[in-house]
Amino acid sequence: MQQLSLMDDEEKPPGSPSGSVVEEQQRGMVRPRALSPRSESFLREFFPEATINDWNNWHWQLRNRIKDFSSLSRIIQLSAEEKAQLSSHSMPLSITPYYTSLLDRWNPDDPLRKTVVPVSEENNILPEEMVDPLGEHSNSPCDSLVHRYPDRVLFLVTDFCSTYCRYCTRSRLVGRRLDTFLWRERWERALSYIETHTEIRDVLISGGDPLTLSEEKLFWLLNRLRKIPHVEVIRIGTKAPVVLPQRITPVLTSMLKMFHPLWMSIHFTHPKELTPETIEACNQIADAGIPMLSQTVLLAGVNDNVEVLKRLFHGLLKIRVKPYYLYQCDPVPGTSHFRTPVEKGLEIVSSLQGFTSGFAVPNFVIDVPGGGGKIPLFPNRILGRDGNCLILNNFEEKQLRYPDITTPCKN
């Protein structure tokens, strides 16, 4: 098979500083990473001129992203549907070498491959699908900021991700690289809004992926936010530990833990993502005292299975990540092949409750189109009443009675 050459690409991640993993190791700032056998085999086959230190350098991973038909076809055997769409897709293609190494090269039904490789079904646009399904633009008081809930805001600090998910809610924005050099002005306007709205106590930094920013930019932003007295909690929404675990270094975590209380929401999809590299990355984050929550989108043919999600959620708890949200897939144009009936999510949650630890069961939510916000959905456990007693259905489908506090139950 023809090997890939290192891309001589001048494009750099937003705010990328100079330097390499080797230099950081020499300064004692980064401990060497061991390669998993899968990563090492992939590196030797497709990037034989690269070193292990190159592979472990997150800047190298970004410079060598798979971004076109030619590069991808050298690694995986593309199906007819993939070939057709790769020549016409509108949303950018971008996959890190690391995440590409996790894809099944021969099977187009591989769950991870489905999430990042475009297929012709993306051309099937349904009437109910919307470019901005969550109504973020209508709830945006200024560039980069969404103020939908009373006491918290969403701060979109970049439109860049290392790997683009084909079902992305913000596919209208990501990868466009607009106003790259105006980040300071946009951030200042957003920070000014946060400073003047004292009801804001929680800021979620998202994008794009904030962890593709340099430590310098992240420090500047977090430092500014921490100086606002009414901002109590800062959260970072990211997929970097999953698609770019090389980004998580002691240099980064030492800086992040200066700004506690700091939380991290990580986008996980499938248990195949729980690799040695991702486990190491999450352990570093946890050891820095940063609580981690997972957000998983329910996707047809990818993870719409109780046993698959149970393996994922159990695996997350072992690396100190709390399963938090299971999202119904948003109605973004060209994503109908990913969406499941809402009943499927309720069925999965019902099959988890009682059969595994309670804190391994995430909240199943719909983010209502038009800016209505998140609505949690629960299996119907209340069957009715008998006088002032509730008739309940437990995880074993047994009907049980619970006495209300107002009056005793009837005998």
| Active-site pick, 113, 168, 235, 239 | 168
387 conformational bin, left if phi > 0, alpha if psi -120 to 50, beta if neither: left
Our answer to whether residue 161 is catalytic in this structure is yes
Please answer whether residues 298 and 335 qualify as being in contact, where contact means their C-beta atoms are separated by less than 8 angstroms.
no
Our answer to whether residue 132 is catalytic in this structure is no
CA pair distance 223, 218, nearest whole angstrom:
8
Residue 8 neighbours by CB under 8 Å, 6+ apart? none
| Active-site pick, 63, 166, 170, 235 | 170
| Active-site pick, 63, 65, 114, 152 | 152
| Active-site pick, 148, 166, 217, 310 | 148
Please answer whether residues 46 and 4 qualify as being in contact, where contact means their C-beta atoms are separated by less than 8 angstroms.
yes
In 3D space, the residue among 253, 146, 252 whose CA is nearest the CA of residue 204 turns out to be 146
| Active-site pick, 67, 74, 257, 374 | 374
Our answer to whether residue 151 is catalytic in this structure is no
| Active-site pick, 63, 159, 165, 166 | 165
Give the torsion sign (CA, 78, 299, 149, 261).
Answer: negative
Our answer to whether residue 148 is catalytic in this structure is yes
CA pair distance 403, 132, nearest whole angstrom:
46
Please answer whether residues 320 and 292 qualify as being in contact, where contact means their C-beta atoms are separated by less than 8 angstroms.
yes
Our answer to whether residue 170 is catalytic in this structure is yes
CA pair distance 315, 217, nearest whole angstrom:
32
| Active-site pick, 161, 217, 239, 327 | 161
The token duo for 235 is: 């959260």
Exposed / middle / buried, residue 62 (Cβ in 10 Å: 0-12, 13-18, 19+): buried
CA pair distance 267, 313, nearest whole angstrom:
12
Our answer to whether residue 389 is catalytic in this structure is no
CB atoms within 10 A of CB 235: 20
Please answer whether residues 230 and 201 qualify as being in contact, where contact means their C-beta atoms are separated by less than 8 angstroms.
yes
| Active-site pick, 38, 104, 149, 257 | 149
| Active-site pick, 33, 310, 330, 339 | 330
CA pair distance 87, 331, nearest whole angstrom:
24
Our answer to whether residue 65 is catalytic in this structure is no
Our answer to whether residue 330 is catalytic in this structure is yes
| Active-site pick, 110, 132, 304, 367 | 367
Our answer to whether residue 367 is catalytic in this structure is yes
Give all strands of the β-sheet with 399-403 in edge-to-edge order: 382-386, 389-393, 399-403
Length reported for the chain: 411
Please give the positions annotated as active site: 148-149, 152, 161, 165, 168, 170, 330, 367, 374
